[in-house]
Amino acid sequence: MILANLSDSPRYEGLHPLFKKAFDYIREHDFADAEPGRIELEGSSLFINVCDVQLKRPEDQKLEVHRKYIDIHVPISGEETIGWKHISALGDSEAPFDEESDFALYVEPASVLVSVKPGEFLVVYPEDAHAPVIGTGTRRKLIVKVLL
């Protein structure tokens, strides 16, 4: 997991060949009034979901994991809390891993909660079980999906 300021994103661009393209696009566009939906930058290898989300209480949000994608969470309209737990500390998932949607959910609580503010980003890798959209109210955020 990486939590950093968008102004420092060049430091992390070498971690994946598509990170630079993603961060450049985020820095060059205003998402406050963008239509919600998917923006494809490199087809299914790199895309951005512009989302308006209803935040949830920590106890109501489940940890999720992905195997094929790295997620980059970028709050646009306000602070968001995201829970984290290393995948090795998880028990059984609610249901078998869904290969098609690259997704599994876990009911146990996160071991760490981090706040992510506009101007910051949080990168979660497949080993990072994460529970996004924790808080109160609604927020606009970006979820960047980067194929491993």
User: Would you call 64 helix, strand, or coil by DSSP?
Assistant: strand
C-alpha to C-alpha distance for 103 and 4, rounded to whole angstroms: 25
Per residue in 19-44, pLDDT (tens digit) is: 999 999 999 999 999 999 999 999 99
Count of helices and strands (H, E) across the chain: 1, 11
Domains and CATH numbers, the chain: 2-147 (2.60.120.370)
The pTM is what? 0.96
Average pLDDT over residues 127-131: 97
User: Quick one: residue 25, left, alpha or beta (phi over 0 = left, psi -120 to 50 = alpha)?
Assistant: alpha
